[in-house]
Structure 1
Amino acid sequence: MGVIRILKSSQETAINSLLESRTANQAELAGRVAAIVEEVRQRGDEALCDFTKRFDRADLTPAQLKVTREEIDQAYREVDSEVLASLKVAKERIERFHRKQLSRSWFQPDPDGTVLGQLIVPLDRVGIYVPGGTASYPSSVLMNAVPAKVAGVKQVVMVTPPAAGGKVNPCTLVAAAEAGVDEIYKVGGAQAIAALAYGTRTIARVDKITGPGNIYVTLAKRMVYGQVDIDMLAGPSEVLVVADASANPVYAAADMLSQAEHDTLASAVLLTHDQDLALAVSQELERQVGELPRQEIARQALANHSAIIITGNLNESLELANRFAPEHLELLVEEPFQQLGRIRHAGAIFLGHHSPEPVGDYLAGPNHVLPTGGTARFYSPLSVDTFIKKCSVISFSRESLNKLGADIIRLAEVEGLQAHANAVRVRLKG
């Protein structure tokens, strides 16, 4: 048997199982996360330091939680100049794309003196979560911080778990400095989310939390929602490739593995009506996975949460893709732009044979913080809109209130709200 299942689209039970497998069992972890959140809420910095020592093997005092200017300067000395140049390219492209998303306040005056409008206001203070520890995710820094800054957020605060010894990866720190992050703290996991939501002596509370993390981070974000806003509840990464006979099996397999290497819960799916291509991609996956440093992770993801599905035709592939509503959707087909209008549900859509998913992860420009687990049916990618709020503006003149007052009174009385009606009636009498 190969590293991945090959299914027929008629195997409804198998496909349903594949769809359901994308959601991890969260119930058993919820209690642990709730205990962490409550302890941070009660004990503040002391709890943060205890959890950081326990989970990250970094023994820090409250005074050491905040990254200093000296640490950032040292990070610049450690980062390769070519890596820094690439970070600058990515930052510029991400900023340019997100500037096109900016909305403006608007006001509409009517001849009777009514003025209606909408005020666009950036959030005051947001927290961005960046995975860390032994890993480095400078791209996640840019994807969260840059649109926040473009939106006009006054204070952008970053939390990230330190490595053992209390150091943050230098690439992560340099990316944060390039993106204009205002404060950086060496704390991760559910405890970091709790600190951002409720505040501690060292970390002031924020208005919104964004950024992907592990299941502990996701559950903590769910628990504190309402105390603060959140962007979305992100799950394991996923890619779905729709391919026809024009696709190169080497490309398709490489793109699937680019997600399978993330973690053992990641999902990589190929939909194709070409049986020869399905077999060739399966063989390529077997060959390429053996060359990966993270091959054990990728193998588990391919075996447990991935599949090649043979459909009847391209139309069926596209309909099934909408049913999956994937985080990343690749159209490796002959005329991808002709099929774009048929896609209803996807976080990001990659068109053509030379647009692999990693270009979106790093520097194409659109955000890589995307809805997962089928939530692309109702969620959008992280954007400038994530970091703003809209206030309605209403100004009635005496003339406009006289004109519409009777209707307002009538509707208020239908609802049994006499004081509502009176607030208008006293003005009409006056």
Structure 2
Amino acid sequence: MPVRCRRAARGDRALARRLPPPRKPASRDEVPERRRASLPRARRRGRGGQGGRIGGGRAAGRTVGLDRRSRRHRRDARRERPRHRGADLEFDGAAHRELIRVSHEAGRDRADRRAAGDVGIGTHRRGSAGVTTTVRDLASLPRDLERARRGGAFGAKERAVAERVIADVRRRGDAAVLANVRRFDDPAARTTDLVADRAALRRAGRSASREIRAALDIAHERIRSFHALQRPRALASRDGSARARLIPTPLRRVGALVPRGTTSYPSTALMTGVPARVAGVRELVVASPLARAGEIDPALAYALTLVDADALYRAGGAAGVAALAYGTRSLARVDKIVGPGNAYATAAKWLVSADVGIDALEGPSELVAVASRDADAAALTLDLLAQAEHGSGAFAALISDDTALLRSVARELLGASARLRARVFIYRAPNLRTAARAINEAAPEHALLAGRTAAAHADSIDRAGAVFIGARSAVAFGDYVAGTNHCLPTGATARWASALRVEDFVRWTSRVEMRGPLTSLIGAAAAIAGHEGMRYHAASLEARG
């Protein structure tokens, strides 16, 4: 369900994070002619049909012819290729490529530091002791971010695979979904395993430990309380000639993606389900990969009961997205799909966005932290590693004007695995004001201001998905219990995008009622219509005179 790519020439591979959605007729699934030659042909498979379905809507389809994580960040679903094609060598390489050595030369001047700018945490140079790294100059941050983001949330390979999966699901429905589930999740899966209804979720949820139930209760209440403040209200304006209103209406059916790594993510079930229910969504279906052996994770089941999910559709990736978007025999199509996933799921979200609403194209997790000298190096290191453990493609950066703090953090990092250290980057800035500007330029998913002096720059940070202020504000609070949503814009989309919120589950309708004396308005509107060459517009207005 999330997004990103690499390796070949970037022009052929990496898609922009916010490409315009593909505009296709709702009944077609083919790639536009101008792009078709670059994509492999979809292979046809056998047919299948299954019994009972979720919801009352009809599955979308055509009568003849063809059809068209983590946090987001989370780890890639089991046995699926990672988000970043070829990224493992860069981010997850062998340990001998990831050793870290911290420079202890204290007196070097700015020119010397700039000369050393190409060597730093995350930049590897072969030496007798393996790969060595030092604190980097801040000027290298944009280049490092570009390398990590790879120009987009997914690439041509993921898009081509998602295209084939979507076409297959549109032709064969649950049978195509089941084939993907057997390939990636559980070879012994049956059609009846694909859907878990409310009763099944309640039974599974009762098996959750008392500790996890209590924790999820706290998280649910705090998330619900915060999102309740966002409930939209109708707007109205009136004068002697007109009454104009803007009316919010909840979406009828929503599908939420909840990715799965080594375990399930009940926190994402809360983050997607709570705002949907606060908005008044009538039916909520969650799609999440089937666990091996077919069991439902009790913690996920309990979280789904808290948000009153109507059903769990046990498929992830592109197949889960296609089932939500177009429907199958057991699942009615939805109006909008929200939530994170792996690169194939995100590519699928983009492909189906002409026919169903989506929230965003979310990529791997990001953190840019700015710290002043009074920050706690040990706690700061844990914040960086917490982001790094989201998996391949995660990016965690620390910026400070205090060299001693940066070196302390680098030493603390030596206690972590080489794989996690390779996802952490450390930079020296001339001052904290410059460091804060670097956050806005990066537009990261998360920003952290650690230390009192750094926290004083909070009001200047206006381009980040979420900002965590002060030494006690661990980013992980936002992942679970702060109350804010952890579904955040990634890959620099925080320049224009926002966190998932209640308004994402509402559509707005304008209502206009004209009355009273209209002569002046008719004259003005008719004049504009005449200038624009709209003869009958003007005539229809003048008929009301």
1:409 to 521, 526, 529: 526
Shift of 1:335: 4.1
Contact (CA 8 Å) 1:267, 1:301: kept in 2 or not?
Answer: no
CA distance in 1, matches of 2:183, 2:498: 35
* Equivalent of residue 56 in structure 1, options 171, 175, 185: 185
CA distance in 1, matches of 2:344, 2:154: 12
SS of structure 2 residue aligned to 1:349: strand
Q: Shift of residue 40 of structure 1?
A: 0.5
1:321 lines up with 2:439 in the alignment: yes
The structural deviation recorded for 1:336 is 5.1
d(CA) in 2 for partners of 1:214 and 1:243?
31
Give the alignment partner of residue 18 of structure 1, picking from 145, 149, 169: 145
Partner in structure 1 of residue 39 of structure 2:
none
SS at match of 1:21: helix
**Aligned residue type for 2:496:** F
Q: SS of the residue aligned with 2:149?
A: coil
TM-score normalised by L of structure 2: 0.73
Which blocks of at least 5 consecutive residues in structure 1 are unaligned?
290-294
Q: Equivalent residue of 1:165, what SS?
A: helix
What is the letter of the counterpart of residue 540 of structure 2? Answer: A
By how many angstroms is 1:392 displaced?
1.3
Corresponding position of 2:168:
39
Aligned residue number for residue 278 of structure 1 = 406
Q: Distance in 2 between matches of 1:171 and 1:17?
A: 37
Moved more, 327-336 or 245-254: 327-336
Note the 1:97-176 alignment, pairs <5 A. 97-110=226-239, 112-132=240-260, 134-176=262-304
CA distance in 2, matches of 1:10, 1:251: 22
1:115 is paired with a residue whose SS is strand
1:205 maps to 333
What letter corresponds to residue 168 of structure 1 in structure 2?
Answer: I
1:187 has 2:323 as partner: no
Partners of 1:172 and 1:76 lie apart in 2 by: 7
Q: Helix, strand or coil for the counterpart of 1:408?
A: helix
Structure 1 residue 300 corresponds to structure 2 residue 419: yes
Q: Is the CA contact (8 Å cut-off) linking 1:9 and 1:15 kept in structure 2? A: no
1:75-114 alignment to 2 at 5 Å?
A: 75-110=204-239, 112-114=240-242
Contact 1:121–1:390 (Cα < 8 Å) also in 2: yes
Are the structure 2 counterparts of residues 419 and 301 from structure 1 closer, same or farther at C-alpha, using a change threshold of 3 Å? farther
* More off after superposition, 305-314 vs 94-103: 305-314
Matching residue of 1:292: none
Structure 2 spans left out of the alignment, 5+ residues:
1-98, 102-120, 123-133
2:369 counterpart letter in structure 1: V
> Contact (CA 8 Å) 1:19, 1:324: kept in 2 or not?
no
Report if aligned partners of 2:197, 2:311 keep a CA contact under 8 Å in 1. Answer: no
Given that 1:155 and 1:182 are in contact with CA atoms closer than 8 Å, whether structure 2 keeps it comes out as yes
Q: 1:159 to 1:148 in 2, by over 3 A?
A: same
* C-alpha contact 1:133 1:168 (8 A) present in aligned 2: no
Cα deviations by residue, 1:185-225 (Å, 9 ceiling, x for unpaired): 11111100011111111111111101111111111111111
Are 1:387 and 2:496 matched, yes or no? no
Number of paired residues? 415
How far apart, CA to CA, are the structure 2 residues paired with 1:54 and 1:187? Answer: 11
How far residue 7 of structure 1 moved from its aligned partner, in angstroms, is 4.4
- Distance (Å, rounded) in 2 between the aligned partners of 1:10 and 1:380: 26
> Counterpart of 2:419 in structure 1: which amino acid?
Q
Q: How does 1:259-274 map to 2 (within 5 A)?
A: 259-274=387-402
Alignment of 1:295-374 (within 5 A): 295=417, 299-300=418-419, 302-303=421-422, 305-335=423-453, 338-374=456-492
Q: Is the 8 A contact 2:197 2:310 kept in 1?
A: no
Q: Which residue identity lines up with residue 303 of structure 2 in the other structure? A: A
- Residue 452 of structure 2 aligns to a residue whose secondary structure is coil
Deviation of 1:380 after TM superposition, in Å, equals 0.2
The answer (yes or no) to whether the contact 1:9–1:312 under 8 Å persists in 2 is no
Q: Does 1:426 align with 2:543?
A: yes
Measured after TM superposition, the shift of residue 142 of structure 1 is: 0.3
Q: Any idea what SS the aligned residue of 1:18 has?
A: helix
Report the secondary structure of 2:414's partner residue: helix
Please give the TM-score of this superposition, normalised by the length of structure 1.
0.93
Alpha carbons 1:58, 1:162 under 8 Å: kept: no
- 1:168 offset after TM fit, Å? 2.4
Matched, 1:71 2:200: yes
Deviation at 1:19, TM superposition (A): 3.0
- Could you say what secondary structure the match of 2:181 adopts? helix
Which ranges of 4 or more aligned residues in structure 1 deviate by more than 4 Å? none
* 2:360 maps to which of 219, 232, 241: 232
Equivalent pair of 2:413/2:421 in contact (CA under 8 Å)? no
